[in-house]
Chain A
Amino acid sequence: MIGIVGYGTQIPRYRITVEEIAKVWGADAPSYKKGLNLNEKSVPAPDEDSATLAVNAARNALIRANVNSKELGAIYVGSESHPYAVKPTGTIVSEALGCSPHVHTADLEFACKAGTEGMFIALHLVKSGVVNYALGIGADTSQGAPGDALEYSAAAGAAAYVMGRDNLVAELLDTHCYMTDTPDFWRREHAHYPEHGGRFTGEPAYMKHVSGAVKAILDKTGMKPEDFDYMVFHQPNGKFPVQMALKLGFKEPQFKHGLLTPTLGNTYSGSSPLGLAATLDIAQANQTILVISYGSGAGSDAFIFRTTNRLLEVQNLVPKIRTQLDEQKMYIEYGAYTKFRRKILKPE
């Protein structure tokens, strides 16, 4: 039996609203809000980056796991905003957690899917018996070019999962990966902001891969949408996951707890892992959760977890997602936002 031993999250405190961004660009806020089902997004503080978010999420995960960081055999950090182009984030995280030097780390990148890739590898490394505990983290301070549609949604946040064999809070029942070479979103070397294929990111990209992964794992396990208590899809906006879920036969009570985008934005590699964490925050024992990530380029990882009694013991050990999301926020204006996101720079 393998699965999640502990989970933790970190969401920056700062928020910017769709209205505030639209005001600057002369854009139509109501149509963005309606079109994206999005009201506001998180903004990392000037001293926050993917590494700090990953570390804080991991610390919370270790508390819930009740595992000493020295026991971690592997740490995988998935992000599309690793602080360095060359130099691992994993080493920073390992050092900060006190895991080094006897640990395997790797940085992963697969647009918004890198977080669940880390979780996938961590789970299977534990399953293989090579390590007892492995940490999978999705962390991002994602970038949207000024005035681009992505600027309204590109947010920051992280979720971390300690995977192991004993004392599980959720057992892994199955996984599946669905992947093709589909260039819907990319950032070239030296480019500051990513580019995207507009509406091509919808039907042939997100929809195709998410539904492909769902259908495959349902076929593989013989399960049906109604067999799940909860489900979480990658959430690039508030619209795609809802459209897709309803189309595939899921109902709102199954996805509403994990749908964070309307007030969080798209946390990229953190997106579906944070949705899973929000679901674990409210789940009872013996409930079944389907998780489907999506990363441009493009692919989806599917996981089915079943919660255990131990989940109820750890839920309140650290701040839950709704607390971080709803109670600890501070709104900023576009000016502060451009400074925080280094869109304007002070001369040296």
Chain B
Amino acid sequence: MRDVAIIGIGMTKFGELWEKSLRDIAVEAALKCMKDAGTKRIDSITIGCMSSGLFNGQEHLASMISDYLGNKHTPATRVESACASGGLAVRTAFMEVASGMSEYALAIGVEKMNDVSGDKATEALATAADGDYEAFHGINFPGLYALMAKAHMHKYGTTRDQLSQVAVKNHHNGSLNPHAQFPMEITKNTVTGSARVADPLYLFDCSPVTDGGAAVLLTTVEEARKLGKQPIVVISGIGVATDTIQLCQRKDILTLEAVKLAGERALKMAGKTIRDIDFAEVHDCFTIAEIMVMEALGIVEPGQGGPATESGLTALDGKFPINPSGGLKSKGHPVGATGVAQICEAVTQLRGEAGKRQINNAKTALTQNMGGSGGSCVIHILEVK
């Protein structure tokens, strides 16, 4: 396998992009990425998008977006793994370059979720749960994560305050991110003063409905050097794992097995342990998810995610910063774009271009993108070469 570098990143503003269509968003992110890379060469395109069919009545995205990007004859593929579609798109682009199939591979993540009502958006998102055994019976993601949160509180004593602290921290980070959908500081009272969604989760425990796109351009480290890129950010490890998409089929609903396995695989490939990682962008679709992901990745012991968050471990100036971008909670969660946007943030940090939210001496990053209630997970390890 050839070594792969990320030479371009591009993102749209995340939010309610009423004036932009699905294709506008994807193309804008890709053009910004190409501008950042300083090259127009693209040998293959991979699109990560969860559900443009239900959100926008549009499938066949790979061709459509390639065409509107001005690359209509370029080989293009769309990949889907629910909310992990973006991460999977980057992995596919990585394999294009690593295998020698492409010299330059573009990965775009996109989702435009505000074309439909809130009810329809919830319905579309619920298709990432098991249709026959979960969604049909009326449970959707706030409900599934609420079950996990309740169980976590029961088994480990995780508190309501600790859940709130995840949102408070991520909104603080997001307030420093110009791309964030909700860049405002909040307090724990903001969380528990918001509408109850599914006990014990409040509105401010949940990531929002978002329109947005993100893109990365990959090539070989050799090509990156030829282009004079400095610093060179490489993808040194990738891990993907799947799990049952039904929560009830898991041995333990408090262990995100796919996250654990994907993390082990990615770290092994990179020749690292979790202690070598300087910071992580993780999939905080709900506050409890960030806590459980920390535990599954081995950043803390099982049950310690809540107390560790409360003690400031994961704050921007903590020992292990998590979600410097503001995470899905504050930055927004255009589902198919999220995995790519996490990598954009990691690259921004590793380049030292994150401004007020810059993490000192960040050299190694982990991004964790998850589908559904943990039925799939894609993890990337990024390093400055």
A residues whose Cβ falls under 8 Å from a Cβ of B:
28, 31, 197-200, 203-204
Contacts and interface: CB of A to CB of B under 8 A. Distances in A.
Nearest to A34: B193
Contacts of B18: 200, 203-204
B252 interface: no
B19 A204 contact: yes
Contact of B196 (A28, A198, A199, A203): A28
Given A28-B195, A31-B194, A31-B195, A199 B19 contact: no
Q: Which of B16, B18, B114, B203 has the most CB of A within 10 A?
A: B18
B114 A199 contact: yes
B117 interface: yes
Interface of B: 16, 18-19, 114, 117-118, 194-196, 203
Nearest to A196: B117
List 6 A-B pairs, minimum CB-CB distance, nearest first.
A204-B18, A31-B195, A28-B195, A198-B117, A198-B118, A199-B16
A239 B258 CA distance: 44
A197 B16 CA distance: 13
Given A197-B117, A203-B16, 15 more contacts: A28-B195, A28-B196, A31-B194, A31-B195, A31-B203, A198-B117, A198-B118, A199-B16, A199-B114, A199-B118, A200-B18, A200-B114, A203-B18, A204-B18, A204-B19
Q: Which of B114, B195, B196, B203 has the most CB of A within 10 A?
A: B195
Contacts of A197: 117
B184 to A, nearest CB: 14
B15 to A, nearest CB: 9
A204 to B, nearest CB: 4
Contacts of A199: 16, 114, 118
B212 to A, nearest CB: 15
Contacts of A200: 18, 114
A235 B194 CA distance: 24
Contacts of A203: 16, 18
17 contacts: A28-B195, A28-B196, A31-B194, A31-B195, A31-B203, A197-B117, A198-B117, A198-B118, A199-B16, A199-B114, A199-B118, A200-B18, A200-B114, A203-B16, A203-B18, A204-B18, A204-B19
Contacts of A31: 194-195, 203
A31 B118 CA distance: 17
Q: Is the interface of B mostly helix, strand, loop or mixed?
A: loop
Nearest to A35: B195
Contacts of A198: 117-118
Contacts of B117: 197-198
B119 to A, nearest CB: 9
A199 B164 CA distance: 25
A28 B117 CA distance: 20
A264 B255 CA distance: 51
Nearest to A199: B16
Nearest to B15: A203
B213 to A, nearest CB: 19
B290 to A, nearest CB: 24
Contacts of A204: 18-19
A197 B203 CA distance: 20
A31 B18 CA distance: 25
A323 B105 CA distance: 70
Nearest to B18: A204
A28 B196 CA distance: 8
A197 B117 CA distance: 7
A251 B7 CA distance: 49
Contacts of B16: 199, 203
A198 B117 CA distance: 6
Nearest to B209: A199
B192 to A, nearest CB: 12
Contacts of B203: 31
A31 B191 CA distance: 12
A188 B195 CA distance: 32
A199 B194 CA distance: 18
A198 B113 CA distance: 13
B12 to A, nearest CB: 16
A200 B16 CA distance: 9
A150 to B, nearest CB: 13
A28 B199 CA distance: 13
Nearest to B119: A198
A37 to B, nearest CB: 16
A198 B114 CA distance: 9
A31 B195 CA distance: 6
Contacts of B195: 28, 31
Nearest to B203: A31
A31 B204 CA distance: 13
B121 to A, nearest CB: 9
Contacts of B194: 31
Contacts of A28: 195-196
Nearest to A195: B117
Nearest to B195: A31
Nearest to A31: B195
B345 to A, nearest CB: 26
A221 B16 CA distance: 33
Contacts of B118: 198-199
A1 B16 CA distance: 45
A154 B279 CA distance: 50
A200 B194 CA distance: 21
A199 B118 CA distance: 9
Nearest to B196: A28
A239 to B, nearest CB: 15
B374 to A, nearest CB: 29
A204 B211 CA distance: 15
A204 B114 CA distance: 12
Nearest to B118: A198
A200 B211 CA distance: 13
